[in-house]
Structure 1
Amino acid sequence: MNNQEIVEDDQLYLSEGIQEHGFLLIINHDYSLVALSENCSDWLTNPVNHYIGSNIWKFIATYFPNYQENLKKGIDEVFEDSDERVWMEVEVGPFGCYLNVYGTSKYIYLEFEKKAIDQNVFFPKIEVFNNLLVKNKDRIWEVTSAYISKISGFDRIRVFAYDKDNNGLIIAENIKHPDLEGILGCYYPYTDVFRLARNIHVVNYSRYTAQINGPTIKIISNGVDHPNLSQTSVRMVSPIHAAYMLKDGVNSNLSVSIIVDGELWGYVFCQSKDAKKVNLLKREALVYFVQMAVNQYVENQDLKDRKFYEEIRDFELLLKEKLLVQNDLYKVLNDLGDRLCYFAKADAMAILSKDELHTYNISIGKRKVDAIVDQIRKVEKGSYFTDEEFVFKYGKKLGLETERFAGISAICVDEKESLAFLFFRKEKIQKRKWVEKPEELIAEGKPNVQFVHEDHPYLDVWHQTTYHASEKWTDMEFFFFKRLREIVLVSFRMLAEEIQKLNLEVLNLNTALDNYANTVSHDLKNPLSAINLSVQMMMQKPDMSEVLRMKMLKNTKEAVNIINEMLRTIHEFSKVKGYDYKMESVYTQDFIPQIVDFSKLRYAADHAEVEFGNLFPLHGEKTIIYQLFQNLIGNAVKYSAKTASPKIKIYSELDNEFVRYHIIDNGIGMAKEELSNVFDSFKRLSNASEFEGTGLGLSIVKRIAERLHVKVQVDSEIGLGTAIQLTFPNDN
């Protein structure tokens, strides 16, 4: 969520009132009340107009005497940082409420939401949902819609995804109420309603309307200030949106943004036929579950992309190897025609040069191919061209028939040599079902596109059929085209020694990527565990004390900061060509106690006694020094956690030009014969089988120590514990 405002020229799409389950106070930067919701009269002693222009601190002293300190602190925080949001629980007259304090450039908003009794008693479980996502990697959104339906009690859950043309597709759906329509696999055109919905959901990641046809509570202002309500969670849905959803049989709606790589990818719509009250905590849990699904979806897509890129990389190596041996570009490419068509997702291929034509899976003459290339160059001057309707557009002119192929993509490798690739795709009749009239597409009047209107009780259903076209080329295929062109250019212009050099770079990159993946998966476990445990505790104990809740939130925020910095630095750290470290004074007393706390949480070692001595500052790169201590302290806590009285000592001492750190535990220890290979990757100790781990921790320590010129000494005995000594150059 970000705190920018939405400004719309057409007020038909905006609502300047709130829902009846909320109250709203708005103050300016002079701490004066400039607007209040009309229903504040339910708990005020005077008419609402009486308080316009009042000082907020006097107002709070009168109506919130028990919360003065917390409210002042929250309002001050938002004044200092307009992107900040402060949540708390308060009593507003006879009402128990959640209070959300947030700001924009001109105003501070105090938004109250009455607590609702959740009729659906099913309580969500993070572990259960996570296991479902992991076990159903190809059905992420189906699983998400089904689980959200179960825990929320909404009558219908829909997952809506945008396509490249901004149209929407229903990709998953779960329906409980028999009167609500199912439209899985149907499209929505990009109308004004969805344009505004997109604007709202980029700013406000979730929107909830308890009763769409309920009353709109007016905002009473001083007549001069007109605050924007686009950030207000209890804001009433606009009249045009209300009519849209009521027509769809819906009277309650919770929509949650799906944000992928910083962009709005789609929504999860939770809808009910009748008005529905859902507690704020349950809604926040639903938002969290949607984010879990997004994370798993992104991870799955990354894995698929990585697999595809690895296939391309392997093909590149094969292509380079064959070129090196045979030194005949056209023969090699022709021999690999099936692989080239596989990556281009094409049915056939042609390679054209000045004097030669090589084809795969198609019979076509050079004169015809020359004519196709001439037509492409009239349309596109760049190196890449795709048109899924090429034959439909130019077939009559060029003497081509769609029975053979419909779409063409082309790569111009070298104009001087007239070297080009053509990939052909066959016709595929495409059908789409629209649940609203696609006005713009129909207005285009394309002769190969047919629209038929369906008689439906309340939806405006249109069936689209597209003829004489192939499937569109995707970003993945474009990536392959670019790599193919680069490889052919290199092969065309460079000597065999250069090709061997490229092979070596690819192998080095593979090694770096492997190290990067291993390091990330290992070192993120501590902060992720802290986040997971903190969130679980807050969800399972909604009535926890404010002090404990703030501690959990602080743990979560610190862990997120650590993850962000770690991902940035690990990525740079793993590059083949090295990393330009930001060397600085590193004050370990700022984070070593935090590492201890996170490790205790992760390994259930609250009973461990940790003794700290002097923690002298070091000179180096802060993030990787943090990783160094995280791995070593984490091991000390983990391998001593199951002893009767776990004890750990962490201290440092100065020795002329060195700073020596000691980490000593009384854990399970290591056999002396195993100490010589303890730093090997994936090496697990013989007595560590009952402890979680991958055997990567000390290998990461070794890599960091080598780069920072730190000497690591390990002394250990089975059953007595382990002592680690780190000797740092004293450059402070």
Structure 2
Amino acid sequence: MSLLTVDLTNCEREPIHILGHIQSYGYLIAIQPDTYSIVHASDNIVDLVGLSAAQLLGQPLSALLTDTDLPVSTLVELVNVGLRNDSWETMNPYRLTINGRVWNLIIHQHQGLIILEWEPVGDDRNVLVNQQLIAQALTEVQSSRTLSELLQNTARRVKAIIGFDRVMVYRFSPDWHGHVVAEEKEEYLEPYLGLHYPASDIPRQARELYKVNLVRLIADATSVPSRILSQPDLSGNEPLDLTHSVLRAVSPVHIEYLYNMGVQASMSISLLYRGELWGLISCHNMTPRFVDYPARQAAKFVSQLLSTALEFRKDNEEEKDLLQYRQNGQSLHEQLLLSDDIVRALTKYSVTALDVNGATGAALLFNGRLYTLGETPDEAAVRTLIEWIGDTNTETFFETNQLPVLYPPAEEFRGVGAGLFAIVLSRELNEYLLWFKPEQVQQVTWAGNPDKPVTVDPNGQHRISPRTSFAAWTEIVHNTSEPWTETELSVVVKLREDIMQVLTRQANQIRHLNQRLQVAYDELDAFSYTVSHDLRTPLSSIRCYSEILLEEYGQDFNPDAQELFQKVIDSTERMQGLIRHILYYSRMGRTELTLRPIDMNELLERIREEIMITAKDRVLRIELGDVPPLTADPIMMLQLFTNLVSNAAKYTQLKAEAIVRINGQQTDDELIYTVEDNGIGFDMKHAGKMFDLFKRLENARSYEGSGVGLAIVKRVVNRHNGKIWFHSEPGRGTTFSVSFPLNPIA
């Protein structure tokens, strides 16, 4: 049977955050924050307080303490404090004595409920030891010379804190399979260092939980979990979401997986890089073992030290690469301006197109001729590949580190071209610039065959089961190159803009548009202007009449009708704004440039004041640096920088402290201005859509906008014979750069 027909509900679809059980070593209740009534309780709660879950459901929180020696006021006051401060982290864990035994109480709030969890208290003598281990870990983070040494030291510290038999640092690859890159273990255990584990061992929904709940303990995989009971008449009758729970029970599939490995206790600690899952500290014990909350937090702190060190080291490496690639990109830009010959500028000087990224080969197809640098496929293979790229609807960029998987003929030249990065110079003229990376043949040693076996349950349903064998299983991996980095993408975006500027100038000099196409363009331009202009009158009437009805007769309308009229007015405002943008975009094709000296400080100060008025309810800083004066069309420049700065302000709305920085510089032949923000950013792989009319990136759809602003910016830049480029990373902000000739020609 094909695997495509197998039911995967025990893997990707398993709802592991709402399993309906907790681990048996602790106890749980969930209460409503307004009434403090108990709506969920673990079945074993009777062992803690002497009352069954059925007796507690629907009762106030105070009922929990009826048969215990804990004062009612203590627990209620804890909840009150957490609600008042809207924070629970500083309270956790809170020690409570119930019937003579001390417990750690951990509280959190999720999806409208307050969840209280009790777990045993560990040995207080370990607290001082753990503090010493944390201090040593901090010293090691600062002193470790290599990443390998840092990872190994972290594994050693975590093992000392939690006392497990085996602690591994497990790093994820781009396809989400894992690789054990550091290990600390008891001598009698066989080593797992260097082994790979398939992505299916930690499915997608588990990886998402690891980003939210950074520490996960399974104290005894052999114990029977305690189910969670719910108030029968609970509104919605939904199971309790245990995403942030410390006691969340374990998926039966994962229990089976641990059993197959001979593991009875496990603990996982997330390692994050820029908010994404980089890897895990995975801990195994051959017998049941409980790690109390303070020890888990100490191990978590060590992992956070490692995450911070990873980010610092990787950022330093990327910054170094980015600087070198940008310097080479600037050299290519100067060569393009000096030679005015695309081929010569990219292939004949000491710095070539091969020096702006980590490729080992490059190919330029221009004016029907193919030029190559470094190690590339033969000419026939490159031309056939370009035909395929042209048929894939590639907009501006195409990149992959597994070309033979997408394009099977590439297997013939995978030794030089398993990775491909292509930019489109002109689809119509069949002009492309390509970079190649060679295949990185890997001998991957898996912990058992990575393909999960298909089994048939008593009902005849096929299911994928956890692997039962973890003996080393070696595979040779082909058809994959080193991945393309965000740094490489960013520099090539700028290079393409430099090339396109030269091509545009050449087109203005030596290529003449067909007269009939020009007439058709003028007619279409005039038509769009007329339609947009004529739409404004009836739209104004709709708004005017709606406002009159709302003002004159609004008191007679019910609230729903008033809201509908307000929506009509709001919608007309948005549509008028869109028409204004379209009108401006259309008119720009006919408007003559009026070049005048512009005081950029004055222009940007005006824009800043207008934006700050609309952003008075949030923390926003717009910093103006050194911005040299510019000779350009003042109205168009106002439109251009208003769009760039207002976009930067808009996409920083989720930041506690939003910062927009505007700077400028003058070189020998151009003026360059940058608008930098610390907003949501975007993936550079989608950069090809940035200036398309009415196109918006996926992560910007929740922000209000028309999709016209950046198209206007691009058109203004083109009218002034300038360039625009950008660099961005998801969650790390965006920098837009625009440049204009020092001596403009109208």
TM range (shorter): 0.5 to 0.7
Partner of 1:258: 271
Structure 2: how far apart are the matches of 1:580 and 1:372?
37
CA-CA distance at 1:144 after TM superposition: 1.6
1:164 is the counterpart of 2:174: yes
1:217 is the counterpart of 2:221: no
CA-CA distance at 1:315 after TM superposition: 1.3
CA-CA distance at 1:333 after TM superposition: 1.6
Q: What letter corresponds to residue 168 of structure 2 in structure 1?
A: R
Pairing of 1:526-545 with structure 2 (within 5 A): none
Of 332, 340, 344, which residue of structure 1 is paired with 2:353?
A: 340
Partner of 1:572: 660
Partner of 2:49: 44
Offset from partner CA, 1:500-550 (integer Å, 9 cap, x none) = xxxxx9xxxxxxxxxxxxxxxxxxxxxxxxxxxxxxxxxxxxxxxxxxxxx
Pairing of 1:27-106 with structure 2 (within 5 A): 27-28=31-32, 29-45=34-50, 49-60=54-65, 63=68, 65-66=70-71, 68=73, 70-77=74-81, 84=88, 86-87=91-92, 88-106=94-112
1:206 is the counterpart of 2:207: no
Offset from partner CA, 1:279-333 (integer Å, 9 cap, x none) = 3111111111111111111111111111111112211232233344444432232
Distance 1:56 1:574, change over 3 A: same
CA-CA distance at 1:106 after TM superposition: 4.7
Tell whether the 8 Å contact from 2:12 to 2:203 is kept in structure 1 after alignment.
Answer: no
Distance 1:17 1:360, change over 3 A: closer
Gapped regions of structure 2 (runs ≥ 5):
1-10, 455-466, 507-599, 601-651, 665-672, 678-746
Offset from partner CA, 1:570-628 (integer Å, 9 cap, x none) = 953575569999xxxxxxxxxxxxxxxxxxxxxxxxxxxxxxxxxxxxxxxxxxxxxxx
CA-CA distance at 1:354 after TM superposition: 0.5
Tell whether the 8 Å contact from 1:12 to 1:239 is kept in structure 2 after alignment.
Answer: no
CA-CA distance at 1:393 after TM superposition: 7.8
Structure 1: how far apart are the matches of 2:58 and 2:412?
77
Of 119, 122, 142, which residue of structure 2 is paired with 1:134?
A: 142
Partner of 2:700: none
Partner of 1:490: 501
Structure 2: how far apart are the matches of 1:579 and 1:471?
32
CA-CA distance at 1:374 after TM superposition: 2.3
Partner of 1:513: none
Of 478, 484, 489, which residue of structure 2 is paired with 1:478?
A: 489
Distance 1:221 1:102, change over 3 A: same
Partner of 1:410: 422
Partner of 2:23: 19
Distance 1:438 1:54, change over 3 A: same
Partner of 2:344: 331
Structure 2: how far apart are the matches of 1:53 and 1:347?
69
Partner of 1:618: none
Pairing of 1:310-709 with structure 2 (within 5 A): 310-336=323-349, 340-361=353-374, 369-386=382-399, 407-415=419-427, 418-439=430-451, 458-459=469-470, 461-467=472-478, 470-493=481-504, 571-572=659-660
Tell whether the 8 Å contact from 2:167 to 2:185 is kept in structure 1 after alignment.
Answer: yes
Structure 1: how far apart are the matches of 2:403 and 2:202?
34
CA-CA distance at 1:91 after TM superposition: 0.7
Of 94, 111, 123, which residue of structure 1 is paired with 2:130?
A: 123
Q: What letter corresponds to residue 97 of structure 2 in structure 1?
A: E
Which secondary structure state, in structure 2, belongs to the residue aligned with residue 63 of structure 1? coil
Structure 1: how far apart are the matches of 2:482 and 2:419?
8
Q: What letter corresponds to residue 346 of structure 2 in structure 1?
A: L
Partner of 1:184: 193
Tell whether the 8 Å contact from 2:108 to 2:115 is kept in structure 1 after alignment.
Answer: yes
Relative contact order, CA 8 A, sep 6+: which one is greater? 2
CA-CA distance at 1:124 after TM superposition: 3.7
Which secondary structure state, in structure 2, belongs to the residue aligned with residue 572 of structure 1? strand
CA-CA distance at 1:353 after TM superposition: 1.1
Offset from partner CA, 1:613-666 (integer Å, 9 cap, x none) = xxxxxxxxxxxxxxxxxxxxxxxxxxxxxxxxxxxxxxxxxxxxxxxxxxxxxx
Tell whether the 8 Å contact from 1:337 to 1:360 is kept in structure 2 after alignment.
Answer: no
Tell whether the 8 Å contact from 2:332 to 2:352 is kept in structure 1 after alignment.
Answer: no
Partner of 1:699: none
Tell whether the 8 Å contact from 2:362 to 2:376 is kept in structure 1 after alignment.
Answer: no
Q: What letter corresponds to residue 268 of structure 1 in structure 2?
A: I
1:270 is the counterpart of 2:276: no
Tell whether the 8 Å contact from 2:365 to 2:432 is kept in structure 1 after alignment.
Answer: yes
Distance 1:573 1:395, change over 3 A: closer
Structure 2: how far apart are the matches of 1:431 and 1:392?
18
Distance 1:339 1:285, change over 3 A: farther
User: TM-score, normalization: structure 1?
Assistant: 0.58
Which secondary structure state, in structure 2, belongs to the residue aligned with residue 412 of structure 1? strand
Tell whether the 8 Å contact from 1:8 to 1:14 is kept in structure 2 after alignment.
Answer: no
Structure 2: how far apart are the matches of 1:399 and 1:166?
23
Which secondary structure state, in structure 2, belongs to the residue aligned with residue 486 of structure 1? helix
Structure 2: how far apart are the matches of 1:302 and 1:486?
26
Structure 2: how far apart are the matches of 1:14 and 1:580?
42
Q: What letter corresponds to residue 141 of structure 1 in structure 2?
A: L
Distance 1:388 1:242, change over 3 A: closer
Offset from partner CA, 1:374-425 (integer Å, 9 cap, x none) = 23312343222345565798786x9965666555432222345644223234
CA-CA distance at 1:77 after TM superposition: 4.9
Distance 1:337 1:408, change over 3 A: farther
Of 93, 101, 120, which residue of structure 2 is paired with 1:114?
A: 120
Partner of 2:153: 143
Structure 2: how far apart are the matches of 1:355 and 1:201?
52
Distance 1:89 1:370, change over 3 A: same
Offset from partner CA, 1:361-382 (integer Å, 9 cap, x none) = 3588766654442233123432
**RMSD over aligned Cα, in angstroms?**
4.1
Q: What letter corresponds to residue 258 of structure 2 in structure 1?
A: M
Structure 2: how far apart are the matches of 1:431 and 1:474?
23
Structure 1: how far apart are the matches of 2:121 and 2:368?
79
Offset from partner CA, 1:123-170 (integer Å, 9 cap, x none) = 344443223112225233233212212333221112223333232332
Which secondary structure state, in structure 2, belongs to the residue aligned with residue 123 of structure 1? helix
Distance 1:119 1:20, change over 3 A: farther
Which secondary structure state, in structure 1, belongs to the residue aligned with residue 309 of structure 2? helix
Offset from partner CA, 1:18-50 (integer Å, 9 cap, x none) = 334322233335322334334433453555544
Tell whether the 8 Å contact from 1:207 to 1:255 is kept in structure 2 after alignment.
Answer: yes
Structure 1: how far apart are the matches of 2:201 and 2:164?
26
Structure 2: how far apart are the matches of 1:172 and 1:282?
21
Which secondary structure state, in structure 1, belongs to the residue aligned with residue 216 of structure 2? strand
Distance 1:568 1:303, change over 3 A: farther
CA-CA distance at 1:65 after TM superposition: 4.6
Structure 1: how far apart are the matches of 2:296 and 2:381?
62
Over the matched positions of the two proteins, sequence identity in percent amounts to: 22
Structure 1: how far apart are the matches of 2:411 and 2:291?
64
Structure 1: how far apart are the matches of 2:385 and 2:674?
47
Structure 2: how far apart are the matches of 1:232 and 1:364?
54
Partner of 1:248: 261
Structure 2: how far apart are the matches of 1:468 and 1:441?
25
1:291 is the counterpart of 2:304: yes
